[in-house]
Structures are given as structure tokens and as C-alpha cells.
Amino acid sequence: MRSSPLSGRACAAIVVSLASLFPPAARACCPAWRAGAMVRIADQRILVAWDPATGIEHFVREARFSGGAAKADDFGFLVPSPTVPEIAEADGGVFDALAETSRPKIVEVTTLRTHWSLLGALFLSSRVTPASRTTDMAPMAPRAAVEVVKTARVAGYEAAVLRADDPELLGKWLADNGYQSRPELVEWSRPYVDAGWMITAFKYVGSAERVDVAAVRMSFVTEAPLFPYRVPTDQITPEGRGHMLRAFVVGPGRAAGTLGTGDAARPWSRARVAYSRPLSADGGSAAILAGALPAGAAAAHDDAWLTTFEDDSWPSGTDDLTFAFDAAAKPYRQVVEKPVTRDVLVPLDVFAVAAAGLALVSFGRRARG
């Protein structure tokens, strides 16, 4: 096998659209559209579950696509992987379960509000004012042309696992099979083709303006887990106009993301960690992964950690994203403080009336005396 473009660190999922008559402002990860057509990716949730003992990564992806005035006839996406993947449908409900597990902890912070008038207090009651503040808790032999290694039909997709010897030939294969290639897509594929990676082409046919595609799992051997943060240069979202990427990473410790490799490696600073704790913490368990991973998957153990990342700048990079794990790191859970204002009554007006009454009584007694 040739060396990986990411030092053997796995999987980059790239969307390739095949829609008709969508506005040129629409965006996708790595779109290949018919002339005058485009589909954009709205939001994306991914699950990366990796077991260091077997070197197997299970990559589950759920994405939502939207179009413009016309309806999407069909679209697809490309997924590079360092080895031939096993492809299967996955239960997309795992993303809601993981989101629930990594939800913020709500802590009420009570503030006392003093009322100095009984009459004023009659019109007020205890109330909760929503607000939040976050605080810390405690990564092959050359072949001629383009070879179709295998095909599959799964989750409403037609999938073809491809091995290409030349990125231009890959672009030609895509064009011959209904994809509209372009120079940026060819350049995007170049490092994967040069490294001898597999590229799986998925194709889905639909007819809705907004398409919620089924979740698909790809399982393959890799030295370290990776997510496809890299996109073609013509598809980088302008700053402040990105979509939400939520990445759920399961592995032997708290996960940390790195963009690029070697001297160009840098932390994934665009994302924030919303949660990082063992799956068994907070009343959870590895059972929530059952519908998304193969039966008996080694990555699904209660002592495995779940780390949740949120990045609202997606897609925004030209480097792929790799993950490393630290079992000795401190657990983290986002804490949201919810202020609760409670009223305390100090009825000075009542006291004043009582004092005045006492004064009158005292005055009357003195007058009679």
C-alpha cells in the first residue's frame, strides 16, 4: 500500500452533488453537479468510533441537503478510505441518543430580589430568567485507469468502491457515470489517488427540495481515526456563513482534533468541546451505539469515552482532521447556569402603618394623662 496523504490516518467523507437547477450560491463539501445545477449541505452529524486494538474505524455519517427553487433529482457523495470498506446502513437515531448523553448540565443559581413594599410585591412573583454561561468541570499497489473494486446497494444508495491510478482518470469515470467533474474536484482527489486510497462513490435518487438521507456506516482498518474536514478550494464557506458540524468521537480517552500533519499540524481550534466523558458516565452506556455499529464492535465498551465537538464554520478547510485520545485527561461537561430570581418581601409600608398606629395610641394616652 502507498503511504497515506495523512500518514495513514483514515477516512475523508466528501459530498458530491448531482442535482438540477439550483442557485449558484449553494454550497456542498465536494460537489460535482450538472451544468447550472447545485445542491448544498445544510448540517452534518458524524460518528467516529475507533478501536486501537483492531485498528478498525466505524464511520457513520448523517447529512441534510437543501436546494433552491427546483427539486433535487439525484445526488451523491465520495468517501475516501485507506482500505476497502465494508458498507452498511446505520441507525441514524444514534445521533439523537449521543446528543442527549452529551447534553449540558443545568445548574440553578438563585438570586434574591428584595421588595420593600407589600403593595408592590402583590404584582410580582418568583420567575426564572433563561441565560447561560459555560464553565469547565472538573489517522496500495498502483492499478491502471479506474477499477471498480466492488458495488453495493445500501440505505437507498448505489455504491461503487473505486481504485484509481490517476485523478484525471477518476474525473473521467465520474463524468462517464453521471457526475460532472471539474478541476477543483480532480485536485481534491489527487492526494488520495496518489496514496492508493479507495474512493467510494455513493449515488442517491430523490425528488424533494430538502433531502434527509439515511445514515450509512463505513468500516475499515486505519492507523488512526480521521474525519474529512478537507474540501475543494472553491467550496470553502466564507467566514461567519458556515453550517453546523457535530462530531461524536468514541475512543480510549478524551479526543483531541488536529488539522494537517507534520510541521503544518495545528489544533482544531474552530471547534469547541461540548462534552468528553466515559460512555458509562451520567447514566449512559455503550448500548446507545448498538444500532450504529456492528454487533460486538470492539469500539463499543462502557469504558470508552465519548467526546462531542461542535463546529459552526463547516466546510472551511483544506486539511483533513485526525483524532488522538488521552485516557488520563480530565472529564469535561458543559455547565449551563440558569439564574432563578426569588422575591423576598420586606413590607416597610405595613411597618410604617403599624408604627403610625402605635404612635397615635401613645399620643392619646399621654394626652389623657
Q: Mean pLDDT score of the chain, rounded to an integer? A: 76
Q: Supply the pLDDT for residue 17.
A: 38
Helix and strand counts by DSSP (H, E) for the chain: 5, 21
Q: Supply the pLDDT for residue 277.
A: 94
Confirm whether pTM is higher than 0.95: no
More confident position, 20 or 295: 295
Cell of 332: 469535561
What residues does each domain of the chain span?
14-101+139-314
Q: Supply the pLDDT for residue 118.
A: 53
**Which range, of 174-178, 308-312, 353-357, averages the lowest pLDDT?**
353-357
- Burial of residue 365 (CB within 10 Å: 0-12, 13-18, 19+) is exposed
Q: Supply the pLDDT for residue 142.
A: 44
Alpha-carbon gap, residue 331 to 368, rounded angstroms = 78
**85-114 residue pLDDT tens:** 999 999 999 999 999 998 888 877 777 666
Q: What are φ and ψ of residue 189, in 5° steps?
A: -80, -15
Alpha-carbon gap, residue 242 to 331, rounded angstroms = 29
**Measuring CA to CA, which residue among 94, 59, 50, 91 is closest to residue 77?**
59
What is the enclosing helix (H) or strand (E) of 343?
Answer: strand 335-345
